[in-house]
Amino acid sequence: MNQGLSLEELQEKTEIQLNFLEAMEADDFDQLPSTFYARSFLRKYAWAVELDERIVLDAYDSGSMITYEEVDVDEEDLSGRRRS
């Protein structure tokens, strides 16, 4: 789901600890401190890889995580996003 970014780049961009990013990449959310943190980390992760956080959170809530290739990214939507 990481759009070609290394875990180190994601760590720098999101400020999420590397071990938590590794757990998220492996869909091992039991390694995260709590559901609250999992959802917070997923929001940051979605922002970092330019995905709609609602899609990512819905996938998490349903217990069926997705890969970046499975998401239909609308380039027009991305061009209108604010960058920080």
Cα 22 to chain centroid distance, Å, stands at 12
Q: Residue 41: inside a domain, yes or no?
A: yes
For the segment 22-48, what is each residue's pLDDT rounded down to a tens digit? 999 888 999 999 999 999 999 999 999
Q: Residue 55: inside a domain, yes or no?
A: yes
User: Of residues 60 and 68, which shows the higher confidence score?
Assistant: 60
Q: Residue 27: inside a domain, yes or no?
A: yes
pTM of the model: 0.72
For the segment 5-27, what is each residue's pLDDT rounded down to a tens digit? 899 999 999 999 999 999 998 88
For the segment 63-72, what is each residue's pLDDT rounded down to a tens digit? 877 655 555 5
What DSSP line would sit under 8-25, residue for residue? Answer: HHHHHHH---HHHHHHHH
Q: Residue 42: inside a domain, yes or no?
A: yes
Alpha helix (H) residue ranges in the chain:
7-14, 18-25, 35-48, 53-62, 75-79
Q: Residue 81: inside a domain, yes or no?
A: no
pLDDT at residue number 37: 96
CATH code of residue 54: 1.10.260.40
Q: Residue 53: inside a domain, yes or no?
A: yes
pLDDT band, residue 84 (cuts 50/70/90) = very low
Domain count, the chain: 1
Q: 14: domain range?
A: 7-72
